[in-house]
Structure formats: structure tokens, C-alpha cells
Amino acid sequence: MSDTWKAAGLLVLSNLFMTVAWYGHLKNRSMGIWVAIFLSWGIALFEYMLQVPANRIGYRSMSAYQLKVLQEAITLVVFVAFSWLWLGEKLTPRYALSFGLILAAVLVAFKK
């Protein structure tokens, strides 16, 4: 498996943790803010344990710019799924278009 694919897989996993850390508490608004903060911080630790190796591995085959663009695209894909499955929010055409434009940036960043 190439370093690019290894990095992408780790980035998907890290983004799952980070999306839960940042947005998971929105479904349970009765949770106190300090509980949400510390719980999110604890979840984010696992995100960093995956993000750092992803960047180290990915930097062997991609530039830092390419890594960042790839990470942002993965973040959007993970967020759309999370928002739909966990928060029950629908992806409207306006948001789909805006995310599509960002995903187009990935194609530009990786074009030779």
C-alpha cells in the first residue's frame, strides 16, 4: 500500500474522532459545557494519535499543501456523513455545491 493511501486511511480515522469531539455533544445539549469540553478534549487525544502519523507518512509522498487539502476534503466527507447519521441534518444542494467546490480543490492540488 502506498504512503498516500496509508496517510488517507489514517486521516479518515483521525477525522472520525475529531468530528465526534467537535460536534458529538451538539446532540445532547443538556450536557454541561465543562463536561462537553473535557469529554471532547479526551476524544481529540485519539485524533492526534492518528493525525501525527498520517502527516509523517503522507509527507513522504505528498507536499504539506497536498496533505492539508486532502485532510480538508476528508474532513468534509466525514462531516457530511456524521451530520446526517448523528445529528439528523440533511445535505442541501447549497451545501453540496460548496463542498463540491472544496473537493475540486483536491483535484487542482494533486494535478501534475
Q: How confident is the model at residue 10 (pLDDT cuts 50, 70, 90)?
A: very high
- Whether 112 has a pLDDT exceeding 80, the answer reads no
CA distance 68 to 72: 6
CA distance 85 to 55: 28
* E strand or H helix that includes residue 56: helix 33-58
pLDDT given for residue 48 in this prediction = 94
**pLDDT tens-place string over residues 26-67:** 998 899 999 999 999 999 999 999 999 999 999 999 999 999
pLDDT given for residue 103 in this prediction = 83
Count CB atoms within 10 A of the CB of residue 19.
20
Give counts: helices (H), strands (E), the chain.
Answer: 4, 0
Domain boundaries, the chain: 3-110
- Whether 80 has a pLDDT exceeding 90, the answer reads yes
